[in-house]
Every structure is written in C-alpha cells, then in structure tokens.
Amino acid sequence: MININIIFIIFYLAIILSGTIYDHHPRYNPNFQTPISHGLVKNLVKPVLNPVTRVPELNSLDPSSTANFYGDMVNPGLFQYFFSPNNNVSSPGYNIPIPISLPLTLNKDNGTYTFDNQNFFPIDNQGIDVDPSKRLYKDAKGVYHNYHFCLKINSNFLFNGSEMFSFVGDDDFFVFIDNKLVIDLGGVHSAESASVNLNTLGLTKGKVYPIDFFYCERHTSKSTIRFNTNILMTCKFIDYCGVCNGDGTSCCNPQTTCNDNNPCTIDQCPLPYTKINGSISDYCYHHPKELYNPSNKCFTHQCNITTGNIDAFPIPCLDLSKDCLKSKACNTSTGCQYESACTDVCHIENQCINGKCEVKSSDYCAIQLDGDKVDICSVYSCDSSQGGCIKQEKCQQGSNKCIVTSCDSENGNCIVENVPNPNANDSCIISICNPDTGLYSSSPLQCPDRSNEYEKCKRNTTNPCIETSCKASTGECFEIEIPGDMCDCGCDIKNKCMRSHCTKEGKCSPVFIAEIDDGNTCTDDYCDPCTGLITHTTASKCLNCNSC
Ligand SMILES: *[C@@H]1O[C@H](CO)[C@@H](O)[C@H](O)[C@H]1NC(C)=O
Ligand SMILES: *[C@@H]1O[C@H](CO)[C@@H](O)[C@H](O)[C@H]1NC(C)=O
Ligand SMILES: *[C@@H]1O[C@H](CO)[C@@H](O)[C@H](O)[C@H]1NC(C)=O
Ligand SMILES: *[C@@H]1O[C@H](CO)[C@@H](O)[C@H](O)[C@H]1NC(C)=O
Ligand SMILES: *[C@@H]1O[C@H](CO)[C@@H](O)[C@H](O)[C@H]1NC(C)=O
Ligand SMILES: *[C@@H]1O[C@H](CO)[C@@H](O)[C@H](O)[C@H]1NC(C)=O
Ligand SMILES: *[C@@H]1O[C@H](CO)[C@@H](O)[C@H](O)[C@H]1NC(C)=O
Ligand SMILES: *[C@@H]1O[C@H](CO)[C@@H](O)[C@H](O)[C@H]1NC(C)=O
C-alpha cells in the first residue's frame, strides 16, 4: 500500500515541506564548531547528486584540499553522516535523526511561497541535547541553543516552465535539481544568498524532476534561513522518516539502525512506506546471506556465525549402490551424477538385481553368439579377460593323444576312446601308444628265456620223431611229432634245414630256412636235414625241355 499525501497543495495559504534533521554534536563530529570559520566556499561537494543515496558527497576526502580547508571540513570522512543516520554512539559521526516539517506561507501579491526564520533553532533540547550535559553552546547573550544540525529534504516537482528559487542564510546550503547542483553555498559562513531560475536548467515543461535541499547549521552564534519559491512540489507518499517520496534513508541506516550483530545476515531498512509503530529496528529485514549466493548444486553454503564467511560444504551424494550406480564427479549445475557400475563386458547393460550387476549367463552367451543355431557340442560362457562371451568345445581333447575325445552331435554326449591298436590281435607284437603323438610303436615280443625249463623238458623219448619241448608261454613241457621226412636226424632241432620259429599262438614251431629256395623253378632245391647242406639240381621236369 502506498500512502499518498500531497504536501504542496496548490495555492494553499501554507504548504508543509517535510524533511529530516540530523542532530550532530562537536563531540561526535569535529566538522561542527571548528575553531576558525573561513566563510563561504564553492565546490565543496560534487556537482552531481549520488542518485542512490540522494545525499551530496565531498569533492575530496583530503582535509588539506582547498575546498575542505576553507569549508572547515577538518574530518572529511565524517561528512557522509551529515545527512544520513548513524546510531552507533561509540562511533565518530554519531547523530540522531528527527523528522521536521517546514511550513511555507503564500505571498498573495506574487504567488510565491516563503520560509523565513532568522532564529532557526528547531531542535533545542532535542536529539543529543536531551542530555543537559550536552547543551554546551550559547549565543552572545548566553542563551543556549542547539547549534549543530543538518537538514535534508528530498522531493519532486512538476516543471511548469517559469519556476524560481531563492535562498539566504547560513551555513552550508546546497540545492540539487534533476540531480545537478544549482545552489552551492558551502562552508561555515554568515548569511549568504543565491537564487536559481529553473528556466536556465534545460528542463522540459510538464516533466517531473527531483529537487533535493541540504542545509547545515555548524557553528554559533547565529542560525538564519529564508527561502522563497514558486516551485510546487508533490509527494506520492511519505516514508516512515516523514520524507516526501523518501526511501527511508533519512532515518534508517542498514549498518547502524538495522544491525542485528549477526554477520550472517544482510540487514535492510524497512520498505519506505512501512507503517512504523515504535522502533524502526523492529521492522528491519535481516536476510540470511546464503540466500544471496548463487546455488552450486555440489555444495551447500552456510554462513559461519563467527566470521560471517560463507563456507561451502560438499553435498553428500546418495548411495545408489542398490541400483548398481556409483557416483562420479559432481556437476555444479546439475548436482550429483551417477554412472552404472555394470560396465564389465560380462555384465548385462543396465540390469541390476539387489545391488549386483546381472552377469551374462551361458544361455545368454549361446544366444548372443549363435542365435538359434546353438551348438550342443559347445560350452558357452562369459570371460571378461577374453572380451566377453566365448564358446568352447564341450568334449575337450586331453593332453594324452592316445585317448581320443569327441562329441556326439546327436545328443551332445562326450565319447572317450583309445586310439585303436593296429596289432591288437597279434600277441607276439608289443604295441605301445605314445601319449604325445597318439601313434603306436611296435616291437616283436621277446620270448622269455626258459632254458631251465627246457632242461626239465629234455628229451624223454627214444623216438627221434617225437620232439620234446617246452611251452614258452607257460613253461609246460610238450611233445610234438616231427614229420617223418625231417626227423631222422638226432639233432636238437633235429632238422638242420629248419630254424626255430614262434607261431602266432605263441608256440615254438620249426620252419624251413629261407635259403633253401633259390627262386628258380628249374631247380630242385634240396637241404640235407642232418648237415643243412643245400643243393640245387636241375629239376627232372626240366631235363627234357628248354622251357627253363
Ligand atoms: C560502533 O562503533 C565502534 C567504533 O567504530 C565499533 O567498534 C563497534 O563495533 C560499532 N558497533 C556496532 C554495533 O556497529
Ligand atoms: C514575492 O513577495 C514576497 C513578499 O513580498 C517577496 O519577499 C519576494 O521577494 C517576492 N518574490 C518575487 C519573485 O518577486
Ligand atoms: C503553469 O503556468 C501557466 C502559464 O505560465 C499558469 O497559467 C499556470 O497557473 C501554472 N500552473 C501552476 C500549477 O503553477
Ligand atoms: C502500537 O503498539 C502498541 C503497543 O504494542 C499498541 O498498543 C498500539 O495499538 C499500536 N498502534 C498502532 C497504530 O498499531
Ligand atoms: C567458524 O569459523 C571459525 C574460525 O575460522 C572456526 O573455528 C569455526 O569452526 C567455524 N564454525 C563452523 C560451524 O564452521
Ligand atoms: C554439467 O551439466 C550441464 C547440463 O547437463 C552441462 O551442460 C555441462 O557441460 C556439465 N558440466 C560439466 C563440467 O560436466
Ligand atoms: C582282431 O580280431 C577281431 C576278431 O576277430 C577283429 O574283429 C578285428 O578287426 C581284429 N583287429 C585287427 C586290428 O586285425
Ligand atoms: C619221461 O617219460 C616218463 C614216462 O613216460 C615220465 O614219467 C617222465 O616224467 C618223463 N620225463 C620228463 C623229463 O618229461
């Protein structure tokens, strides 16, 4: 709600100008009651009003600058409190703001308004001087007055094309119109006058402009003020300091009035049109500092109540391991970031059960590798070290090549077989399979030495055609009949045309020696069984023919 008050009422007998008086005291601000008064000085303040604070600023903060020296500005740093509140009684520049209303009376003959007070002591016994011990300053006749104060009036007006403003008085007096300095009567001086014709300022008729007055009484022993104007100032509202269109700064300073001694808050004066019942401080805003920090989603910001620093604390990221997610570097604009923990080639992407990544099963790999042509003689599995799903023969050949493993493609059963022995049916050949090659090596069976046994089987018959011998495999004695044509001789193998030979059945059986046959069909080959002498005589069938 904006409280609309019209302070200047057009052509009324009196108009009331509202402003703020800041009560100062030489004890708090040595720019008041300086030992020497140097009189009027120009250019003490900057020619343009600070549009934010709406109070004048010194051209220089150097006390030895010409303007400050002649303007009796012994402590230029404290000029900032001339027209703005400072309620810290322990600090230099301490002051007390007091609202004031100045009634301007209409001069009927020429339609201008005048404020005239040649004894302008509006705050005697008020402000700092409520304390009797502070009422130290008197006029020549010994009469006490409060001689040290500044007055600020911030207002606006509608420029009608022919306005003027004139002033006469002491001490500092500055008027800004449209934020530009138009009356410049600085310093501690006796009554000085100045006037301004608004037509000369380049203003546009019908437009509203700010007008700001600043007046100070800085020294004994006189205080005079008189101004005359036909400017019609308007107010949209009065702030809680009682200032027309004010912003509250006349009586409220965030650093002093609203200081809650909490470094973690930003102190702010109440909005200008706040209705104050009691102390302004009760209506101040104290914004937590954190709210003013740009949000970084990786950190929370907390103000340290001791230091007032905004400390950053990392925001803990959620434990999403149940969803097989692990957190990765936090992104300041989006916050915690997670990535799948199921990144192994043997994990099924984005499949998580109870915090465990689902692993590619043999069935999964079978379908992945062979689709609908799954091989029953293969074993499918996943091996991350091999790059994922792999397929291996189901019936693996062992290192022993004498045992052959194969798979039955009908039913997938493994068949384990020995390499067939080519001499399996010949017990006189020893065949041994080499496990490295799977090949058989063979060697003839060595008949065991059974000479002792032969001894016992010594000839036991007088029949020269009965041969007594010993069975090699068992050692049993046996007798065989030597065919008549060979058995006449009495030798051990009686027939010298025969040699010992072992049959496939393991029996020793004499056979004819090979040399007997000369391969010539035209000879009769003869061997003498007693001497072993071989003779070849012309065959009888060839005697009469030439066919040989
Ligand atoms: C008041 O001013 C004094 C002196 O400058 C300073 O030490 C103190 O902290 C101020 N107090 C507050 C509440 O600002
Ligand atoms: C208007 O009249 C008053 C009172 O007579 C006088 O002081 C003032 O100077 C006049 N102003 C102008 C602009 O003539
Ligand atoms: C504005 O100026 C015109 C002509 O100069 C005058 O007639 C009128 O009364 C003025 N209005 C105000 C509000 O002064
Ligand atoms: C101001 O506050 C007092 C005390 O809290 C209360 O009695 C009074 O009604 C209030 N006045 C207004 C105008 O709210
Ligand atoms: C606040 O800052 C002080 C000084 O650096 C430190 O000792 C203290 O631990 C901080 N407090 C917190 C809550 O961080
Ligand atoms: C953070 O996230 C935003 C939005 O997704 C992206 O544009 C930006 O590149 C990310 N920053 C980093 C450092 O990853
Ligand atoms: C061994 O004898 C059996 C039965 O007589 C026969 O089936 C098999 O083929 C023979 N093996 C070899 C290697 O001669
Ligand atoms: C010899 O023959 C006799 C009678 O036939 C027999 O009793 C004896 O055991 C035989 N001796 C040998 C060494 O075979």
Tell me how far CA of residue 503 lies from CA of 247, 368, 470, 511, 529, in angstroms.
136, 63, 14, 10, 21
Of 174-188, 222-236, 347-361, 432-446, minimum mean pLDDT range? 222-236
Pocket-forming residues, ligand 7, beta carbon under 6 Å: 422, 424-425
Q: Does residue 48 surpass a pLDDT of 60?
A: yes
| Percent with pLDDT over 90 in the chain | 50
Residue 465 confidence (pLDDT): 63
Residue 299 confidence (pLDDT): 84
Helix (H, G, I), strand (E, B) or coil at 348: strand
Of 18-27, 160-169, 534-543, minimum mean pLDDT range? 534-543
Residue nearest to atom 2 of ligand 3 (CA): 160
Cβ distance 179 to 51 under 8 Å? Answer: yes
**Tokens 């800004």 found at:** 176
For residue 285, the surrounding DSSP H or E stretch is strand 285-288
Pocket-forming residues, ligand 1, beta carbon under 6 Å: 88, 90-91, 259
Q: Which residues pair with 339 in a beta bridge?
A: 326
Q: Does residue 346 surpass a pLDDT of 70?
A: yes
Among all bound ligands, the one having the nearest atom to the CA of 279 is: 4
Rounded CA-CA distance 371/360 in Å is: 15
Rounded CA-CA distance 347/376 in Å is: 24
**Number of DSSP helices (H) and strands (E) in the chain, helices first:** 3, 31
Q: How many CA atoms lie within 13 A of 487 on its CB side?
A: 12
Output the CA 202–ligand 3 centroid distance in Å: 18
How confident is residue 372, by pLDDT bands cut at 50, 70 and 90? confident
Residue 547 confidence (pLDDT): 53
Nearest to 257 by CA among 495, 540, 20: 20
More confident residue, 16 or 191: 191
Complete DSSP assignment for 472-514: TTT--EEEEEPPGGG-SS-STTS-TTEE--B-TTS-B--EE-G
Pocket-forming residues, ligand 8, beta carbon under 6 Å: 456, 458, 460, 477
520 Cβ contact list (under 8 Å, min separation 6): 536, 548
Output the CA 480–ligand 7 centroid distance in Å: 29
How do residues 74-93 score in pLDDT, each as one tens digit? 999 999 999 999 999 999 99
Output the CA 283–ligand 4 centroid distance in Å: 14
Complete DSSP assignment for 461-477: -S-TTEEEEE-TTT--E
Q: Does residue 506 surpass a pLDDT of 90?
A: no
Pocket-forming residues, ligand 2, beta carbon under 6 Å: 107, 109-110, 112, 228
Burial of residue 226, with CB atoms counted within 10 A of its CB: 0-12 exposed, 13-18 middle, 19 or more buried: middle
Helix (H, G, I), strand (E, B) or coil at 342: coil
386 lines ligand 5 (CB under 6 A): no
* Cis peptide preceding 171, ω within 30 of 0: yes
How confident is residue 5, by pLDDT bands cut at 50, 70 and 90? very low
Residue nearest to atom 14 of ligand 7 (CA): 425
* Cis peptide preceding 406, ω within 30 of 0: no
Nearest to 209 by CA among 258, 172, 144, 160: 160
Residue 546 confidence (pLDDT): 57
How confident is residue 192, by pLDDT bands cut at 50, 70 and 90? very high
How confident is residue 213, by pLDDT bands cut at 50, 70 and 90? very high
- What value does the mean pLDDT take over residues 469-477? 68
Q: Nearest 5°: phi and psi at 441?
A: -110, 140
Cα-atom radius of gyration of the chain, to the nearest Å? Answer: 66
Structure tokens at 128: 């700092």
- What value does the mean pLDDT take over residues 263-291? 89
Q: Does residue 242 surpass a pLDDT of 80?
A: no
Q: Does residue 514 surpass a pLDDT of 90?
A: no
Tell me how far CA of residue 150 lies from CA of 39, 55, 179, 188, 193, in angstroms.
17, 12, 19, 12, 18
Q: Does residue 415 surpass a pLDDT of 50?
A: yes
Helices (H), 163-292: none
Mean pLDDT, the chain, rounded, equals: 85
More confident residue, 208 or 318: 318
Residue 444 identity:
P
Q: Does residue 3 surpass a pLDDT of 70?
A: no
Cβ distance 20 to 97 under 8 Å? Answer: yes
Cβ distance 31 to 49 under 8 Å? Answer: no
Q: Which residues pair with 479 in a beta bridge?
A: 468
Nearest to 270 by CA among 292, 244, 250: 250
- What value does the mean pLDDT take over residues 171-189? 95
Of 331, 332, 336, 338, the residue with max ligand 6 atoms within 8 A of its CB, to mutate for a pocket test, comes to 331
How much is the pTM? 0.48
How do residues 125-170 score in pLDDT, each as one tens digit? 999 999 999 999 999 899 999 999 999 998 888 888 989 999 999 8
For the ranges 2-6, 440-444, 496-500, the one whose mean pLDDT is highest: 440-444
How do residues 425-438 score in pLDDT, each as one tens digit? 877 788 899 999 99
